[in-house]
Amino acid sequence: MNAVLSFLKKPLVIALILIVALLYLGENLSPGFASADQILRLLIVASLLGIVAAGQNVVILGGREGIDLSVGGVVSLSAIIAGNVMNGADGGIVPAILACLAAGAFFGLLNGLGVTLLRIPPLVMTLGMLGVLQGLLVVIRNGIPSGRAAPGLSAFVTQPLALGIPGIIWLWIAIGLFMAFMLTRTVFGHRIYAIGSNEHAAYMAGVPVRRMRIGLFMISGMFAAIAGLCLLGYSGSSFANVGEQYMLSSIIAVVFGGTSLAGGKGGYTGTMAGALLLVILQGILTTVNIDESGRQMVFGATLLLLMLFYGRGKAMRA
């Protein structure tokens, strides 16, 4: 009995049960909500969120109040860069990918340098960076018109690639496998947990703490950039602040998945379930005609509720 209870209390199991329950609820509210086509669409949207959350996840795991509030800005910027570089031509996809990754890595590097060398708290540093990025977006938009997605990219995101499943979902699965491997089977992964749970002990054991932390912010920036590129493929053209919603939802997905905001505890599998859960919740809220502002309120309340359940006790105080 105890074994069953503790199994049911695992964040991943809770998330999976909630996913099924929400799908059932959605189907009852609006028949067709849980149809195969609709679930594929939800998975595509969840992939975009899940990719952003992968970066958010490693930053939070690294501890010392690690959090990346600038992901939304990087997603938006990356969508614009990608649109302008490829501008509707398949030949521009590879250069666009490289440009987006470079931009994501660059802003991640700035975040990492601010947090490590200047000792600015991650919350403040990345919030400031978000402000910079939003300003930058306005400047770019006033100068040049934003471009369009290449047909190849749109097909990758929206059309079936293999076994009737779109490429972006395969990409998400690949990222899930990569993250699981990195966190459990590489020295880098073990060091992420080490600095997240006891930074000083990690330093005394020869872990390059600063370089690690800078690296984590760069990874976060690059994942957000990939998500921005894919988001362009999903919507065809980029529009203002397309990535804005990802700041809050990526954090909720990570916390939903059982990663402690205090760092050093958790993993990516739970985050994937968390991302899917959030997207389904979002779908249901849309079905019952709750607008964007209402959805944001529900999301914010969800995060606070989650903190009440998971974060209670030592997690945030540690």
Partner 1 sequence: MSKLTLNGVSKAYGATLALRRGDLEIAAGEVHVLMGSNGSGKSTLCKIIAGSVRPDGGEILIDDRSVTISGPQSAREQGIGIFYQELSLAANRSVEENVCLAMLPVKAGIFVDRAAMKALAARYIDLFSGVSGDGFAAETLVGNLRADQRQLVEIMKALASEAPILIFDEPTSALDRAQVDRFFHILRGLKRDGRGIIFISHRMDEITAIGDRVTIIRDGETIKTLNLSETDPATVIRLMVGGAGDMPASQSSAPAVASFAAGAAMTVDRLSGAGFRNVSFEVAKGEILGLGGLHGQGQSAVLRAIFGASSEMSGEIRIGGDRFDAKSPRDAIRRGCAYVSGDRGRDGVIAGRPIIENVTPIHYLRDRLMIARPSSLKAKAMPALEAMHTKFASLMHPINSLSGGNQQKVIIARWLIDKPDVLLLDDPTKGIDLSAKADLFALIRQLASEGLGILLYSSEDAELLGNANRILVFNGGSVTRELTGEDRTRYNLYQAAYEAA
Binding positions for partner 1, rule: CB under 8 A: 184-191, 193-194, 197-198, 200-208, 264-265
Least Å distance between CB 263 and partner 1? Answer: 10
Q: How far is the CB of 258 from partner 1 (least distance, A)?
A: 13
**Please, what is the minimum distance in Å from the beta carbon of residue 312 to partner 1?**
17
Q: Which is nearer to partner 1, 116 or 282 (CB)?
A: 116
The smaller minimum CB distance to partner 1, of residues 3 and 144, is found at 3
Q: What angle, 0 to 180 degrees and rounded to 10, lies between the N-to-C axes of helices 71-86 and 93-116?
A: 150
Nearer to partner 1, 106 or 203 (CB): 203
CA gap 217, 117 in Å, rounded: 13
Is the CB of 164 or the CB of 313 nearer to partner 1? 313
Q: Which of 224, 202, 225, 223 is nearest to 81 (CA)?
A: 225
Helices 122-143 and 71-86 cross at an angle (nearest 10°) of 30
Q: Is 86 left (phi over 0), alpha (psi -120 to 50) or beta?
A: alpha
Helix (H) or strand (E) holding 312: none
Burial of 83 per CB tally in 10 Å (0-12, 13-18, 19+)? buried
Give the shortest CB-117-to-partner 1 separation in angstroms. Answer: 15
User: Using CA atoms, how far apart are residues 166 and 37, in angstroms rounded to an integer?
Assistant: 11
Nearer to partner 1, 147 or 196 (CB): 196
Residue (of 202, 228, 263, 278) closest to 58 by Cα position? 263
Neighbours of 88 (CB within 10 A): 15
**Shortest distance, CB of residue 318 to partner 1, whole angstroms?**
9
15 vs 194, which CB is nearer to partner 1?
194
Least gap, CB of 189 to partner 1 (angstroms): 8
Q: Which residues pair with 166 in a beta bridge?
A: 160
